[in-house]
Structure 1
Amino acid sequence: MKWFLQRVLAAIAAVLVVALGAAVLVRMQFTGEPASWAVSEGSNALWMGRAWVDGRYGEAELARLKPRIENGGISDVYVHVGPLEYDGRLDPAEHPELKGFLRMFRGELPDVRVSARVGRRVEEGGPDLGDEAVRERVVEASARLVEAGADGVHYDFEAVPDNDPGLLELLELTRDRLPRDALLSSSVPTVEPLGGLAFTLGLVLPEDPFWSSGYLGRVAEHLDQVAVVSYETGMPTEGLYGGFVVRQTRVALDAVPEDVQLLMGVPAHPDDHAARNPEAETVEAAVRGIRLGLSEGGERRKRFGTALYADFSATGGQWDSYLEGWVRPGGGQGG
């Protein structure tokens, strides 16, 4: 019994040493100064809530948001039009004012593209993408949204396992069915910071904590835009979170084809739970980490930007931090 306890304690100690070493390496990523060219070039996105298409928001709210979109170099918005049912259906009653919103928005911001964001019901889980009939219903809903006037569709399924074939099949089918000029984009989870880590952790954990970089690349091949949800990492400090974002940015830059627009997520919401400490996952840390990760590549990527989450929760201070840290570092406030 004594030898067994010693082995258990030794194993725990080894895990702690590895974890500590990894934490040190992650924190070291968040050092130095980003390159002066590693800033916004006006190709950013904003996740927007369902209040815009269900009648709660109107002209007054858009008047307040418009200067932030203009000053923030926002070229795309992803407007939530409602959650998909588990069988893949989308109830039109979730977005009764979609057409009115599109007219209003384009009247004020004609150069900003609007994609309809569809996802899952949190309390029920996501649609079963492995089911062919479910995929057909999802694509039917997506086609109706484009017919209603949206510039494209943004998928936001959240908990898709690494190497899931159903998502790839859905993206292929969506691309075939949508008009050639319709945008197809998707949010994706955090990516393994080191090669092989997703596979290793997948052997011992009940759910995949990361996507592999290879799977991210295969998904991205079917898309016009990829938005990496580089938050809700569980990191306890700003330094560790910032270092993690640096690494996420570098891995994503290598995995996503250059003809696909890559957007790194920036958290601007107050959620405080096991996967997110809002005092660690700040806008400041996110945009500095993104700039550092971009700088490590040594050159500017043409199709690159950030995606801010979200319009309904971002405070004035967070918008200012976004502008000062990413849009025009050193140029003062403008939000």
Structure 2
Amino acid sequence: MRRRWRSWSRARRVLTAVTLAVVLLVVAPLASYAVSLRLQYAGEPSARTRNQDALWLGHAWVDGRKTTTDVAALAQQLKGTGIRDLYVHTGPLEHDGSLPLAKVSPKAKWFVDAIHAAAPDFRVQAWLGDVVQPGKNPGMNLDDPGVRQRVVASAKAVLEQGFQGIHYDFEPVRSGSQGYLDVLDETRALGTTLSVAAAQIDPLWYLHLVPIEKWWSQDYFAQVARRVNQIAVMSYDTAMPLESLYGGYVAKQTKLALEVTPPTTDLLMGLPAYWENNPAHWGNAETVSAAVRGARLGLGTSTRQNFGLALYVDFAATPANWAAYRDGWCVSP
């Protein structure tokens, strides 16, 4: 073999060495990772809803497009589910942190009053957010104290409309961002329920170092979770090409999050109740049923009660999405 190797041209030796390196450093680890995800998806889950679930609601509920008839229909649709929290899109915030509330969400108070009249047990949180620097430019600079001060002022303004909490969705937040932690600390001073939509946890312990701001380290996730009342993992847009791999990925994310989320913080896993088909989100793979099953497998036999699932998003969810959520999570076998 050594004699044959020496007889090859230098170009052929280099190409062979590069090919072997790719196989050993890229292909083999990815294949191993895929097998591990498929194994995460094996088994028969037993966990069911703890009645701590949530639903992201679009902007139509606060800008005048919805009526009391729509509110009554929403309340009826949510009966028999485990949904307790509603994250209502009340922003978006301006890049400087301000919110022209009367212009952007003129019916915010109307919706809060209407849903409480129809279904008083729901907790209604104002969903606020923006794209953030350095991942998005132009975008919000959370390292700027003035910007954070206006964000907190915006949160205070929506609370005066009757909302019972603030739900932040800033994207993409870089793992380790101090500005993000600071705005959470500063918002807590309002004394209200604080929840966040969180990035996925690095499943391989080094992906968060790649400058694409897709994953947080598990340690950074824990730092965020300690500062909030609820943390909802955006466990979709994973680039998983098969339903079994996606379900295994959600199971893994659930386990990683459970390891570091304080017992006093509610943990929710996001469900992709919408259709997209692109390299980041394979529509036939990222299904509600796979996410529900993956989360149940990840939860295992844990007796943790403050755990739930969060559906994204109401205006895109189909009857099939709702059935997958109800049958897989809410209905006892």
With normalisation by structure 2, the TM-score equals: 0.92
Aligned mates of 1:126, 1:230 — CA distance in 2: 23
Contact between 1:86 and 1:124, CA under 8 Å: does it hold in 2?
Answer: no
Deviations 1:129-178 (A, max 9, x none): 111111111011001111221101000012100111111011111112x1
Aligned mates of 1:11, 1:320 — CA distance in 2: 46
SS at match of 1:274: coil
Query: Are 2:112 and 1:82 aligned?
Result: no
1:300 aligns with: 303
Deviation at 1:329, TM superposition (A): 4.1
Which deviates more, 89-98 or 64-73?
Answer: 64-73
SS at match of 2:42: coil
Matches within 5 A, 1:265-304: 265-295=270-300, 298-304=301-307
Query: Are 2:158 and 1:145 aligned?
Result: yes
Q: Out of 8, 16, 24, which is 1:6 matched to?
A: 16
Matches within 5 A, 1:1-335: 1-2=10-11, 3-14=13-24, 15-35=26-46, 38-92=47-101, 93-120=103-130, 126-176=139-189, 178=190, 180=191, 182-194=192-204, 196-199=205-208, 202=209, 205-295=210-300, 298-330=301-333
Which deviates more, 49-58 or 122-131?
Answer: 122-131
Which letter maps to 1:25?
Answer: S
Deviation at 1:126, TM superposition (A): 4.0
Deviation at 1:16, TM superposition (A): 0.7
Deviation at 1:124, TM superposition (A): 6.1
Deviation at 1:67, TM superposition (A): 2.0
SS at match of 2:246: helix
Return closer, same or farther for 1:238/1:87 CA change in 2, 3 Å cut-off.
same
Contact between 1:221 and 1:257, CA under 8 Å: does it hold in 2?
Answer: yes
Return closer, same or farther for 1:301/1:219 CA change in 2, 3 Å cut-off.
same
Count of matched residue positions in the alignment of Structure 1 and Structure 2? 318
Which deviates more, 75-84 or 64-73?
Answer: 64-73
Aligned mates of 1:126, 1:211 — CA distance in 2: 20
Contact between 1:85 and 1:121, CA under 8 Å: does it hold in 2?
Answer: no
Contact between 1:126 and 1:157, CA under 8 Å: does it hold in 2?
Answer: no
Which letter maps to 1:234?
Answer: A
Deviation at 1:277, TM superposition (A): 1.1
- Aligned-pair identity in percent equals 42
With normalisation by structure 1, the TM-score equals: 0.91
Aligned mates of 2:61, 2:138 — CA distance in 1: 24
Aligned mates of 2:286, 2:332 — CA distance in 1: 19
The structure number with the bigger radius of gyration is: 2
Which letter maps to 1:41?
Answer: R
Q: Which runs of 5+ in 2 are unaligned?
A: 1-9
Q: Which runs of 5+ in 1 are unaligned?
A: 331-335
Return closer, same or farther for 1:31/1:125 CA change in 2, 3 Å cut-off.
farther
Contact between 1:234 and 1:274, CA under 8 Å: does it hold in 2?
Answer: yes
SS at match of 2:90: strand
Which letter maps to 1:69?
Answer: L
Deviations 1:177-221 (A, max 9, x none): x1x3x1100000111124x2335xx1xx33133111110110111
Aligned mates of 2:73, 2:126 — CA distance in 1: 21
Aligned mates of 1:61, 1:318 — CA distance in 2: 19
Deviations 1:219-242 (A, max 9, x none): 111100000001110100100000
Aligned mates of 1:193, 1:245 — CA distance in 2: 10
Q: What CA RMSD, in Å, does the superposition of the two structures yield over aligned residues?
A: 1.5
Contact between 2:59 and 2:89, CA under 8 Å: does it hold in 1?
Answer: yes
Return closer, same or farther for 1:120/1:25 CA change in 2, 3 Å cut-off.
same
Aligned mates of 1:9, 1:305 — CA distance in 2: 45
Which letter maps to 1:4?
Answer: V
Which letter maps to 1:285?
Answer: A
Which letter maps to 1:160?
Answer: V
Contact between 1:119 and 1:126, CA under 8 Å: does it hold in 2?
Answer: no
Which deviates more, 206-215 or 124-133?
Answer: 124-133
Aligned mates of 2:31, 2:227 — CA distance in 1: 38
